[in-house]
Structure 1
Amino acid sequence: MAAPEIPKKQKAVIYDQPGTISTKVVELDVPEPGNGEVLINLTHSGVCHSDYGVMTNTWAVLPAPTQAGQVGGHEGVGKVVALGPGTESSGLKIGDRVGIKWVSSACGNCGPCFAGADGVCFNQKISGYYTPGTFQQYALGPANYVTPIPDGVSSAEAAPMLCAGVTVYAALKRSNARPGQWVVISGAGGGLGHIAVQIASRGMGLRVIGIDHGSKAELVRSSGAEHFVDITQFPKDDQGAALKARVHELADGLGAHAVVVCTAANAAYAQALPMLRFNGTVVCVGVPEHEPQPIASATPGSMILQHQTVTGSAVGSRIEAIETLNFLKRGIIKTHYRMEKMDKLTEVFQEMAEGKLQGRVVLDLS
């Protein structure tokens, strides 16, 4: 395929006032690929709650404040339009569709990379945080780490799989829940949660109890949850006792085999451990904002007596991203999303802050 004509300038969305909910569409130079890099003409990018945390500087886990002018985004899909030197062995060619994830590059030489855990590479670069992200029309990616997008799936649907999809898939695997067992998805109607419900119920044979705001009940049930629990119907001052009782009642009277916390709310973490049965696992996925809070109920005594486990799960590996996209290609999962233009991003983040978003928003970068 002949190389397309590449413009000198492009549209991009930056965080113009980090620490606040504010973005701005600007014109930037189109970069040139360096050694081992490809240039990608991005057409779609998902919008993630992680982008919100980066923009507002509310993630204490990040080492430094976000810089003004940062191009955000880490769920980008587009076509390769230029190959830099040293990419001959990558197998990529002009016109191939590829994606950029939260971890935009991994070193391949550290302990996690050698163990197949490149999602926690010690030398990783994060897309949209000090590395230009996917809220732009042209972006660079390492030829040996961009994610191939399979034929038969739309770029808009594929984009959220590059963070939301692979993140919850990896988390469900870390839960060690087996087919036929009960898993609670906390934040089940959100961008991560509704995909987690689908992968768990339709892809892994798990029985799902979805927990979220009552307005998201239809989405959670249609995604495959066997039961929906409206969190707004439970008291906030009983240390989660009523919620625990309800989940245990639904899960054979014993509690869930696993709880995957997809929301960033500290309250969800406080409620998680009591919902487990013996030998159960809580998987921490959503990163709470501001000062981190401990899981109130995770006392050594209760965990010892019940043989319970608390584990964390960041984004998945490169191979898990490919496996997640194959779930999409096979029709096992489907992204519930709406499309927006680049100039609507501030409004999208405002909805996110107010907890009103259902599913995912995907930006049309044209």
Structure 2
Amino acid sequence: MKAVVVTDFNSALEIQDVPVPTPGHGQVLVRMESSGLCHTDIHAAHGDWPVKPRPPFIPGHEGIGHIEALGAGVTTRSVGDRVAIAWLGSACGCCRHCMGGWETLCESQENSGYSINGALAEYAVAAAAYVTPVPDAVSSTDAAPLSCAGVTTYKAIKVARVAPAETVAIFGVGGLGHLALQYARIAGGFVIGVDIEDTKLAMATELGADHVINARTTDPVAAIQELGGADVAVALAASAASFDQAYRSLRRGGRLVCVALPAGNATLNLPIFDTVLNGKTVIGSIVGTRNDLADVFKLHAAGRTKVITVDRKLDEINQSIEDVLSGAIPARVVFQF
């Protein structure tokens, strides 16, 4: 089969012919139809984070396809089912986090395309219990970004407890941000889109943003404060400076939701006096659970969200990475098989 392979952190990704994997106990073999390119895949390929994957590996955690074979012991899935392979490849299922509904905090979890081979390949194996069925009303192209960009931002809005008529500032209107602003609107919020690309801000306006701010030409903190400040600021740009801007855009009682993971071990310096006296909250939000992803698919099937994608072929992986890093992609690249 054809697969994207990270051979080391300093080289271009390779398209290699590798054996089709065999599903083990509790696993399924999925033939890919679509697979999205997440910024996390780029960080993984470059070894950007303190905890690094181990080359060689196959990246990808937005994979959609049909099950072609079942491993031993699989009774909850069937051949022919269309499923999503998401970031949470598996978890222990019995720790305090898993039992409490926070399986994404499990310390024994495996992550697709990072600690185990992922979905940027013609076939992938995955734990049967951790693939999520895709409703018929959701196309495979749309389902791919929803499996990470969607469920990640849905969770961010959920943990922020956005209430109707609150102001939500989305810092970074790209693959994640274009969905985050839609979930904020579904929750009843007034949305401000912040980015440095006019094309992305135009997309944000088309998707219902109440205000947009170009942070390259305008101080977003001053602009948001002139609008009354943000009740919630969601940091989705992989830039440490944007996290600081997001924090300073908050009004009293505001909540900063940290989602993006800039390269290296970036830090956020918080003014203690301002945080305490103004009752501000900082929340770390990781990707959502399997239940969250099922909710994301339900919302999309009901016509509540729109996914903006650019179709590519798998052998365009390196050019696609360049395009994402340059800001040339409005939202999400999806590879079609």
Q: TM-score, normalised by structure 2?
A: 0.97
Shift of 1:353: 2.1
Aligned residue for 2:129, secondary structure, equals coil
Q: 1:179 corresponds to which residue?
A: 164
Q: Which residue of 2 aligns with 1:103?
A: 88
Residue 31 of structure 1 deviates from its aligned partner by: 1.4
Query: Which letter maps to 2:29?
Result: L
1:279 is aligned, of 253, 265, 270, to: 253
One-letter code of the match for 1:145? Y
Matched residue SS, 1:108: coil
What is the match of residue 220 of structure 1? 204
Report the 3-state secondary structure (helix = DSSP H, G, I; strand = E; otherwise coil) of the residue aligned with 1:333. coil
Are 2:5 and 1:14 equivalent residues in the alignment? yes
Contact kept in structure 1, 2:214 and 2:220, CA below 8 Å: no
Identity value in percent: 36
Match of 1:249 in 2: 226
Within the candidate set 32, 35, 58, 1:42 is matched to 32
Deviation for aligned residue 1:72? 0.6
- Post-superposition offset of 1:162: 0.7
The residue number in structure 2 matching 1:211 is: 194
What residue is the counterpart of 1:343 in the other structure?
315
Match of 1:268 in 2: 242
Which residue does the alignment assign to 2:296? 324
- Could you tell me how far apart the structure 2 residues matched to 1:197 and 1:19 are? 35
Structure 1 segment 290-309 matched on structure 2, within 5 A: 290-293=264-267, 295-296=268-269, 298-309=270-281
Task: Output one character per residue of 1:27-59: Cα deviation in whole Å (capped at 9) or x when no partner.
Answer: 111111111111111111000000000000111
Task: Report the alpha carbon displacement of residue 115 of structure 1 after superposing the two structures with TM.
Answer: 0.9
For 1:197, what is the secondary structure of its paired residue?
Answer: helix
What is residue 160 of structure 1 aligned with on the other side?
145
> Highest CA radius of gyration, 1 or 2?
1
Please state whether the residue corresponding to 1:40 is helix, strand or coil.
Answer: strand
For the pair 1:31 / 2:21, whether they are aligned, the reply is yes
Contact 1:171 1:313 in 2 (8 A): yes
Q: Deviations over 1:141-188 (max 9, x none)?
A: 111111110111110110111110000000011112201110000002
Q: Describe the SS at the equivalent of 1:232.
A: coil
Contact 2:130–2:290 (CA under 8 A) maintained in structure 1: yes
TM-score, structure 1 normalization:
0.89
* Deviation for aligned residue 1:332: 0.8
CA RMSD of aligned residues (A): 1.2
Distance 1:351 1:191 in 2: 13
CA distance in 2, matches of 1:118, 1:314: 11
Secondary structure at the counterpart of residue 130 of structure 2: coil
Q: How many pairs are equivalent?
A: 336
C-alpha contact (below 8 Å) 1:119/1:318 kept by paired residues: no
Match of 1:86 in 2: 73
Q: Which of 227, 233, 237 is the equivalent residue of 1:259?
A: 233
Contact 1:171 1:283 in 2 (8 A): yes
What residue in structure 2 maps to residue 3 of structure 1?
none
Q: Secondary structure at the match of 1:51?
A: helix
Question: C-alpha distance in 2, partners of 1:130/1:304?
Answer: 38
Structure 2 residue matching 1:163: 3-state secondary structure: helix
C-alpha displacement at 1:74, in angstroms? 0.5
Kept in 2, the 8 Å contact 1:18–1:67? The answer is no
Question: Quick one: distance in 2 between partners of 1:332 and 1:280?
Answer: 26
CA contact (8 A) 2:160 2:255 kept: yes
Q: CA deviation at 1:354?
A: 2.0
Instruction: Write the distance in 1 (CA, Å) between the matches of 2:74 and 2:57.
Output: 27
- C-alpha deviation, 1:245, in angstroms: 2.4
Shift of 1:350: 1.0
Mapped pair 1:75 → 2:52:
no
User: Is the partner of 1:70 in helix, strand or coil?
Assistant: coil
The 8 Å contact of residues 312 and 335 in structure 2, kept in 1 or not, is answered as: yes
